[in-house]
Structure 1
Amino acid sequence: MLYFFVVLLSIGWLFSCAKEESTAGLKQVFQNPPDSARPGVYWYFMDGNLSRIEMTKDLESMKEAGITNLIFLEVGIGVPRGSVDFMSEEWQELYVHAVREAERLGIKILLGAGPGWCGSGGPWVKPEESMKHLVYSELEIKGGKTVDVLLPIPKQRSTVWHTMKDPYYEDVAVYAVPASAVPVIEDINEKALYERDPYTSKPNVKPYLPSLANYEELDEDRVLAQSEIVDVTKFLQADGKLVWDAPLGNWTIIRMGKRGTGASTRPSPEPVIGLESNKMDTAAFRNHLRNFTDILLAKTAPRKEGVGWTGFHIDSWESGAQNCTDGIIEEFKQRRGYDPEPYLLAYTGRAMGSVEITERFLWDLRQTCKELVLENHVEFAKAYAHENGLELTIEPYDMNPAGDIDLGAIADVIMAEFWSDGFGFDASYAVLQATSIAHIKGDPVVGAEVFTSQPTQAWQLLPGNMKNQSDWALAHGINRFVYHTFAHKPLGDEHRPGMTMGRYGVHWDRGQTWWPMVGAYHEYISRCSHMMQQGQVISDILYLTPEGAPMVFTPPADAITENGTIPDKKGYSFDACSPKILMERTRVENGKIAFENATSYELLVLPNFETMTPELLEKVISLVEQGANVVGIPPQKSPSLVNYPACDEEVQKLAKKLWGTYEIPDELSKKEMGKGAMYWGGKLKTDELYPSYKVTAELLAQLNIDEDFKSDNNSIRFGHRKTNEQDIYFVANRTNEFQKTACTFRAVGEPELWIGTTGKTRKIPNYTVENGVTTIPLEFFPYESFFVTFSGGENKADENNNTSNFPSFAEVKTIEGAWDVAFNPKFGGPENIRFDELLDWTTHEMREIKYYSGIATYRKIFELETLSEKQYYIDLGEVNDIARVILNGEDLGVIWCAPWRINISAALKQGVNELEIEVANRWVNRLLGDQQEPDANVRTVKFENGLMGGKEYKTGRYTFTTKQSMEAFRFAEPLSSGLLGPVRILEM
């Protein structure tokens, strides 16, 4: 009953996010979006440096800034250890305190699956419960005599990412083979799952492994026939000696056994460094949870519904691959239908029977390991979460051996990750994968670990220069931002910027100079996220990934713009689908490939692979018969050894049924079957994984399917969702220039403009409609964005309406002359000073201003002689970096992006007006000043309570932060700062 109840709660919460709102209701919520749309943070604790009081301050600052969810993780990286050991009684009580405070404040906590930022393990994981490899050693002998040799124990097969060593080893088998049969299989370390390197950060990692119809034929002496393999396991003695009457010839003795991969919790707090639990063994994973989350669940009970501890999080997969587990032989037999033992020597790279047969076995091995990971680790994690009233969130990348899409699809809420543009790796593919998963499942929420950063970021980023990439993510479909990272601030407000997560992260925390103003940006993200959670995504192309594992989806190169780490989709949007999901969830509705309560697609594009299992090919044929339009080439064989060779005959039979021939036509050809058609040949022919986007787009145009969106200067990105009442387009200028462009939308109805920065909406008077496509003249300030919605069905535009869609502004007054400015003396600035004119702080003669970081308040009295019924705005001109406007004592809000203006009509008076403008810059300037005389190393900081190892630290006069965060700090000059203006009063 408890299980049933908590599952209902979990499903109910997810459904509450998914339900559509009426247009009127949505417009109201757009003003004040719900908590389900508000952003979150990674709340990182640094190896025992925890403070009960400061935890509360952290959480309260999050709530005040509009953050409603967090991921709780503790790591050991770049900071001296504190006094609170992970999972000690004190630590557990502090976790309970965090949960109770989150309940009080209405914040959701998702706890990571283990210590560190990835994986699920710890010192409680026994070597025999850890991730396993089937390893081997080799010894050359001469036969024709009794051999008595000590066989070497196979070495651990760790990659450079693995840091743990362990003595665990268990023999499996010993074989003798002719010495001439040497390893011949290419990339055996990947194909036998000894390694899976990070696709994001290591060059030349394959997104998928090829599966050919034909392989090179080898000389007979380089191929192992089953009759040549001698099983000598019974001659292995307990001490590792082999005593065997060896026949004549040169032999290689291969000792095979199970050994831990050495994958460890990383980067873990020191007290809980340990092995990663076996990802194919439910019992091993359960034992880990028994020593970790079970204890915390008992301590936090009872929990408050909907807030506090609500989730269980599996972060990026960084524990690598494994290829063995207890009982894998029986699992393989059950799943593949044949005995793998005769093929175990394929792990060594030797050809068993032929290269093709060996490759097929290795394909089956990877498929079996994939299924065991999905079922025994991820599906079990989801069931465990639901049993305990929690939701499961997953980042399915980056070294995942099981296939990113299939693993991620198990999550209640899928998450991606992207790095700050210019300050890290290109993980944009992870966004494409995560959004694809949500779109084909119909999940309303797509989360992401956002703005992960390398050390060179060094406090340079803030909302204004992050807007372009924020809009990029929103357009792709990311609609729950979880910022990396809010490092816990145990050192208190007097030590700022304070503790960081070593060298990493965008420093999204209360130690930031501009944190009191960040809520305006969060409000923008919340409004946009809520809109992008409505209805279903509109997307035209569905790319099927190849069968097999590992698998990372990468679209055709020309399907996205060439824009570094933030590439945009083009006029026809696309998603990816795995074969598993295609077979389990697709059908055809009205000629489209459809997923229940999810997105439907005009075209299915098959991978350019020579192999396909009969089961998948049967599904493709079924979809065509039901009415689907499909692009692809006929497969020649199955990739698997299952039911070989009959499986190949079945594939060829089915292929001829669908395509008619294997000869690819020179011109684009259409083969009709049932209600649908297969398209192939001509320009669709390619050596790449998929045909080019350009050719696919031409085919869609031939099918009378217009582009979903385009702008006449190609400078605008978009995302499109549709509810029962509305088409919702998110459009954003992806340039730092003012843009005036006509945009076309594949939608009709009465168009409106919804502005995310203000929450305001208005009708669009000037537009044209032709053949179901609406064209609207639009204007964008640098990196500006808004929503264009279409409601009410067919609507005939007034072709004679030349009214501008954007208001015009006239200058009423330029506020000139001197300003009184107040800096914060705690960070070296003068408490009161007069600027005769607006200037850049870095040009001031006083070093206390030149190197100032923080908030300064500008005060000015100005007069306005007349006041009409028009709307009035203040335009700040140039601001570095973010500003709050207070007029006549009324807080009018924060300006953080272009256009740098805000409506002041509610506070403006005729006659005398008192204006205050609070301006915040970045930490770079003060940190730079504190590295120079006379401010360098003038203070000694020591924490008697055990924080930061209780050691003494030399630091600058005004700032203190952790050492690693400063190692990459390389600035010669301070960054432009302050209110530069001109400050103008405008009327609309």
Structure 2
Amino acid sequence: MSKSFFRLQSFSKLFTTISLLLILPFFLSAQVSSAKPWAYWWWMGSAVNKADIKKNLEDFSAAGFGGLHIIPIYGVKGEEANFIPYLSPQWLAMLDYTCTEAKRLGLGIDMTLGTGWPFGGAQVKPQDAAQAFQVQRMDVKANEKITQLPAVPEKWKNAKLIAVSAYSHSAFIQKLDISKGISWEYPRESDLYALYQLPTGQKVKRAAPGAEGWVLDHFNATAIKTYFQTFAQVFMAKNYGVRAFYNDSYEVYGANWTSTFVQKFQQLRGYDLLTHLDVLAQDTAITDREKRVWADYHETISDVLLEDFTKPLMALGKQFGKIVRNEAHGAPANLLDLYAASDVPETEFFGSKPYGIPGYRVDPDYEVNRFGEPDAFVIKWAASAAHVAGRKMVSCETATWLGNHFKVALSQVKPIVDECLVSGVNHIFYHGVPYSPPAAEFPGWLFYASTNFNQQSHFWPFLPQLNAYIERSQSRLQAAKPDNDVLLYFPIYDVWHAAGRKGKTHPMEVHSMVHDIKDSPFGRTSAWMSAQGLAYDFVSDRQIQGLKVENGVLVSTGGARYKSLVLPITEFIPLATIQALVRLKQAGASILFEARLPRTVNGWNNLEERRKAMQALMSNFQVTLVRDLGAALSKAGVRREFLAEKGLSFIRKKTDKGTLYFISNLSGRFKEGRVRLASNAKMLKLYDPLSQQSGWEGFRTLGPNNIETFLQLAPGSSIFIEALDKADTTLTRWPLPFEEADVKDFTGPWKVEFLSGKPFVPKGYQADTLASWTEAPDTLAQYFSGTGRYSLSFSLPEFQVGKPARLDLGDVREMAKVSINGRDLGSVWSLPFVLNVPEGVLQKENTIQIEVTNLSANRVRYLDRQKTPWKKFYDINIVDIRYQPFDASSWAPVPSGLKGPVKLMFQRL
């Protein structure tokens, strides 16, 4: 062989070696996990440094986080010298270091495109800031000459006159040429309507120091491009290792206009909005024309938010290889379309709600009338959009204001996590983790809104167990595909044919969706379908128009398959949607109209032409009107899950091995019994993501897609059941149920010792009966936050010695570690507070030790009574759950410790 060949071979080996060395760090670094929970990470004043970043990230990695989401916000008083200006070279150096360290630790990093929320800041010029419109009406007498308009109110002082239109007898006459000044005279009484544009004046909420400024005009394509160009330039200079760009919930208040809106409206709706200024002047819509013009206005707002804001945001992410998480809720648009356009639709679980789980607590200070009650109905919008569009992940801002500061327990967090998971979420984001220097004294740096998941939290030592539970659950849910049978049409035009109440728009907010949309024919049909155990997704007009049919099955653009499409009672519907429904019906799809057909087409332009076209289509349409929706869906092959009748919440998904159910007992109506699954199976595999027990369970087949099995699932518990297409011979039998009738009750005296905590450690005591340690003889116990140990000796009869059992601790405030006879049984931190006692642990004479950790509320109560100056934050500082200045000094002592009763239960024979 020639020497050149050997030289080529040597060069090839050298190139391969160098390439391996270059890429080796990527393989050596741990895999970033989207199954683990992530968290919002507030950089307060961006007063961060490398040493503290490193320590924080190491803590988060060790605790089982999957990643952090950086949001720079207002700062801490006294730290001004350490504030780092947003996007400055020093700030970008901190971002770069964070991404590098996070990668080493197997953590991902996301970032908000801005500080605080919504998008905006110091770089937004006044002409690019959020805008609103106002219309002023002026009565003009017959033959009265008008040469100027009345002065605008003081609050409109920055208003710009856009147009003036003249009307007589409520009929449009003409537009005035305002470039030549106002000149109007008419032989009959008339009205002039003057349209003004003015800034909303809103500034970014919770902005970081130096980044304060106007909120961006989300309807202005040029302003949006300019805003995103700031970040494009940053990432073109260096493509920092963040995983995702993020857009927070649309909290743009009062914005309803932009400088190009008239042109956009003409382009999209086909007529001149300036000929209908009398409609924009009103706060209600009464006549048919008024309703239709308002519908066209709202549809234009929605289109602009999709085309000029959401899609450019997605394009920015794609340009730099980032995914985009988008909290579209709050926008005056069709959420289904905005969510579906995002890589990761993100919803929000805000506030406190009651569950039927015995022992579950709701913060009594949470104002339901003000904020609404969290609901799976809200989560379903993001999940539906993801399913229809084929998005793999649905994220959720989780535990926002679940309870007051220092009062939230993990036993309150897990049920809302479970409700998120059964509602379609598979990428939990805690809200959240304030960046706090390790050296900062308790309670450290804090965000104004609860819940705190950082190292200063009372539940931090137990948080890895919740994180592991979430990881085990989400890894299974992310690996499976949607398995919903029904699409439920959301008739948004019925909402849009009215003037909105907020800035005359219809923002689909987390808080208002439950009150407004849920209380509509669509909402009532949705609630009925949930109660019937039907697995379904919401669908928009755009999404319907993208459906196709394969062998009678509806197939979405994302590949999801559905057996039927249901249209609830609907007034207004686009002609294009009717055309799509006809096409789908002709292709063999099941299209069901509930009770009656839609009344008419939407909007104003070419109304009669479109009405006639709709009538012609419907006259030849083999319409299926249903009075009994349940029977019609059953005929279409839609499966009904009778789990719902038992009060069990569930999500059904498909795997390559069969059908996967995640079932959660949130209602408390079920404890044990026979349950039916609308599936076929060769074997049932059960898996408890909390205890990690797994095994096969027997079942009987009742018919096609109808099997029945026994299930013991205590309120507060969750389980995976997989209906396998093939038997798995490696599985062992699922454990036998435990019998409540065969119980060992524990009686005192209990020895109670305080092990460690703050602000001081009280003296121990003996208790004949279990009660809150705030009632201990040592009155200082009412301020104690930390860990106490309960010890007791007990005897068992010979026939129970060595037997497996279940230990029920009753009421635990709030987390506990348990050992019997020196054997560590693990921890309890969620309802029900039960642990399995393995075979061979129990003896005739036994000792049990239970180490209980409480909340930090009593410690903070002491700090506030001592007037300790820990509330040192700018902007809103620290507020309570009612958004009042935080003060715990008047709180009653929060119950703490082991309240019981404690008992052992044994298995049935």
TM bracket (short chain): 0.7 to 0.9
Aligned equivalent of 1:271: 210
Aligned equivalent of 2:122: 123
Aligned equivalent of 1:15: none
- Structure 1 residue 174 corresponds to structure 2 residue 164: yes
- Asked if the contact 1:131/1:277 (under 8 Å) is kept, the reply is yes
Residues 467-497 of structure 1: CA distance to partner in whole angstroms, max 9, x if unpaired?
333222221112221111222224x466223
Shift of 1:38: 1.1
- Asked if the contact 1:224/1:351 (under 8 Å) is kept, the reply is no
Shift of 1:506: 1.8
Q: Distance in 1 between matches of 2:442 and 2:113?
A: 31
Alignment length (residue pairs): 828
Q: Which amino acid aligns with 1:256?
A: L
User: Is the deviation greater in 402-411 or in 94-103?
Assistant: 94-103
Alpha carbons of structure 1 residues 985 and 80: separation in structure 2 relative to 1, 3 Å:
farther
Q: Distance in 2 between matches of 1:250 and 1:298?
A: 61
Aligned equivalent of 2:707: 774
Q: Distance in 2 between matches of 1:80 and 1:115?
A: 20
Specify the SS of the correspondent of 1:71.
Answer: strand
- Structure 1 residue 137 corresponds to structure 2 residue 83: no
Aligned equivalent of 1:102: 102
Q: Which amino acid aligns with 2:737?
A: F
Q: Distance in 1 between matches of 2:118 and 2:734?
A: 58
Aligned equivalent of 1:451: 399
Shift of 1:173: 2.5
Alpha carbons of structure 1 residues 484 and 538: separation in structure 2 relative to 1, 3 Å:
same
Residues 751-804 of structure 1: CA distance to partner in whole angstroms, max 9, x if unpaired?
121111022211102544333311112112231221111102699xxxxxx998
- Asked if the contact 2:757/2:786 (under 8 Å) is kept, the reply is no
User: Is the deviation greater in 388-397 or in 525-534?
Assistant: 525-534
Q: Distance in 1 between matches of 2:146 and 2:412?
A: 71
Aligned equivalent of 2:544: 582
Specify the SS of the correspondent of 2:858.
Answer: helix
User: Is the deviation greater in 334-343 or in 75-84?
Assistant: 75-84
Aligned equivalent of 1:280: 219
Alpha carbons of structure 1 residues 321 and 699: separation in structure 2 relative to 1, 3 Å:
farther
Specify the SS of the correspondent of 1:850.
Answer: helix
Aligned equivalent of 2:293: 361
- Structure 1 residue 43 corresponds to structure 2 residue 5: no
Alpha carbons of structure 1 residues 121 and 982: separation in structure 2 relative to 1, 3 Å:
same
Shift of 1:235: 3.1
- Asked if the contact 2:490/2:522 (under 8 Å) is kept, the reply is no
- Asked if the contact 2:74/2:207 (under 8 Å) is kept, the reply is yes
Q: How does 1:221-232 map to 2 (within 5 A)?
A: 221=169, 223-225=170-172, 228-229=173-174, 231-232=176-177
* TM-score between both structures, scaled by the size of structure 2: 0.81
* TM-score between both structures, scaled by the size of structure 1: 0.75
- Structure 1 residue 616 corresponds to structure 2 residue 562: no
Alpha carbons of structure 1 residues 949 and 699: separation in structure 2 relative to 1, 3 Å:
closer
- Asked if the contact 2:164/2:192 (under 8 Å) is kept, the reply is yes
Q: How does 1:176-575 map to 2 (within 5 A)?
A: 176-178=166-168, 221=169, 223-225=170-172, 228-229=173-174, 231-236=176-181, 242=182, 244=183, 246-269=185-208, 271-291=210-230, 293-294=231-232, 297=235, 301=238, 303-304=240-241, 309-320=242-253, 322-349=255-282, 355-398=287-330, 400-422=331-353, 423=366, 424-428=371-375, 429-453=377-401, 457-490=404-437, 492=438, 495-502=441-448, 504-548=449-493, 550=506, 554=518, 556=522, 569-575=531-537
Q: Which amino acid aligns with 1:104?
A: R
- Asked if the contact 1:874/1:902 (under 8 Å) is kept, the reply is yes
- Asked if the contact 1:840/1:980 (under 8 Å) is kept, the reply is no
Shift of 1:380: 0.1
Aligned equivalent of 2:7: none
Q: Which amino acid aligns with 1:115?
A: T
Specify the SS of the correspondent of 1:229.
Answer: strand
Give RMSD over aligned pairs: 4.2
- Asked if the contact 1:752/1:761 (under 8 Å) is kept, the reply is yes
Aligned equivalent of 1:3: none
Q: Distance in 2 between matches of 1:748 and 1:403?
A: 37
Residues 84-120 of structure 1: CA distance to partner in whole angstroms, max 9, x if unpaired?
154155544444443333223222222123222x321
Gaps of at least 5 residues in structure 2 are 1-29, 354-365, 497-505
- Structure 1 residue 760 corresponds to structure 2 residue 693: yes
- Asked if the contact 1:543/1:577 (under 8 Å) is kept, the reply is yes
Residues 487-526 of structure 1: CA distance to partner in whole angstroms, max 9, x if unpaired?
2224x46622333322x22222221122111111221122
Aligned equivalent of 1:112: 112
Q: Which amino acid aligns with 2:488?
A: Y
Q: Distance in 1 between matches of 2:423 and 2:821?
A: 42
Q: Which amino acid aligns with 1:438?
A: A
Q: Distance in 1 between matches of 2:101 and 2:127?
A: 39
- Asked if the contact 1:113/1:314 (under 8 Å) is kept, the reply is yes
- Asked if the contact 1:134/1:324 (under 8 Å) is kept, the reply is yes
Aligned equivalent of 1:744: 676
Q: Distance in 1 between matches of 2:761 and 2:527?
A: 45
Q: Distance in 1 between matches of 2:342 and 2:77?
A: 33
Q: Which amino acid aligns with 1:572?
A: L
- Asked if the contact 1:879/1:979 (under 8 Å) is kept, the reply is yes
Specify the SS of the correspondent of 1:411.
Answer: coil
Q: Distance in 2 between matches of 1:106 and 1:870?
A: 42
Shift of 1:826: 4.0
Q: Which amino acid aligns with 1:261?
A: T
Alpha carbons of structure 1 residues 257 and 711: separation in structure 2 relative to 1, 3 Å:
closer
- Structure 1 residue 722 corresponds to structure 2 residue 642: no
Aligned equivalent of 2:62: 64
Q: Which amino acid aligns with 1:626?
A: A
Aligned equivalent of 2:11: none
Q: Which amino acid aligns with 1:42?
A: Y
Shift of 1:37: 1.1
Shift of 1:434: 1.0
Q: Distance in 2 between matches of 1:789 and 1:763?
A: 10
Specify the SS of the correspondent of 1:372.
Answer: helix
Shift of 1:874: 5.5
- Structure 1 residue 592 corresponds to structure 2 residue 538: no
Shift of 1:263: 3.4
Q: Distance in 2 between matches of 1:963 and 1:576?
A: 34
Gaps of at least 5 residues in structure 1 are 1-31, 158-165, 179-220, 237-241, 659-672, 685-694, 796-801
Alpha carbons of structure 1 residues 483 and 401: separation in structure 2 relative to 1, 3 Å:
same
- Asked if the contact 2:175/2:274 (under 8 Å) is kept, the reply is no
Q: Distance in 2 between matches of 1:962 and 1:334?
A: 45
